[in-house]
Amino acid sequence: MAKKNEEQQPHITIDDVQINIDDLPEEAQGIFGRIQRLTQKKAVLTLDLEETQASINWFTSRIVAIVNDDKPDDVKAESNI
């Protein structure tokens, strides 16, 4: 019976065959390590881009709010109609 908490070994699927990293040649193991690091880096960059876009959106909204607050009262009244 397999343990429920048994850790899954890192693997790669090639031509629908799952191969444990330990079974790969040394050069392929090194390449797999790079793929893992690059995948993690991509995830961090994606999160950074999402945070950057959210900040751009917030600052853009803030500028719009500031500009709208600086309008004369009669222009503000017309835009609320």
3-state secondary structure of 14: strand
Q: Which domain holds residue 30?
A: 21-79
In a domain, 11, yes or no: no
Structural domain count of the chain? 1
- The structure's pTM equals 0.63
| DSSP designation for 48 | H
**Domain for residue 2, yes or no?**
no
Asked if residue 8 belongs to a domain, the reply is no
* Domain assignment present for 34: yes
pLDDT tens-digit map of 21-64: 999 999 999 999 999 999 999 999 999 999 999 999 999 999 99
Give alpha helix (H) positions in 1-81.
26-69, 73-79
Instruction: Assess contact for 28 and 35: CB atoms under 8 A.
Output: no
Q: Does a structural domain hold residue 57?
A: yes
